[in-house]
Structure 1
Amino acid sequence: MKTIFIKPAPGRLIRDPDTMRPLAQEGEEKTFTPFWCRRLDDGDVIQAEKAAEEAPAVSADATTATEKPVAQPASDKEKPQ
């Protein structure tokens, strides 16, 4: 089934009809049902983008992968003429 990410509209407290718990202010992923469609149409909830999950911070002194040395072409002096 199709899902949507929704948040309560400012100043609204909307309960999930299945759990009877209030919809989180940060928003939640819900199955797109007639109930949530009606809440969207009435302006009780707003469709939102999921907040990007924060990537773990990398410290400046973290070790990095070492680069492989690149083979250098032979110089003209070493080539037979």
Structure 2
Amino acid sequence: MDTVTLFGDNLRRARNAADLSQEELAFRAGMKRSYVSDMERGTRNPTVRALGRIANALEIPPHTLLLPLTKSNR
């Protein structure tokens, strides 16, 4: 799987697990909602800085957004 797509899938999963809307996550990360949407759909290639801001807003370690999906983290 492409890393950008993997990131987007993990971002959506983590956002939903945190029970946050795209709008609320974007607000917490200091981003536009459309940018969060683009990242989730894999149409944006986020910077490392953006990855950090998203992870901080979700209160998770940044690397978890890049891990391949396994049975233990579904």
Q: Same fold (TM over 0.5)?
A: no
Larger Rg: 1
Higher RCO by CA contacts (8 Å cutoff, separation 6 or greater): 2
More helix by share: 2
Q: How high is the TM-score relative to the length of structure 2?
A: 0.31
More strand by share: 1
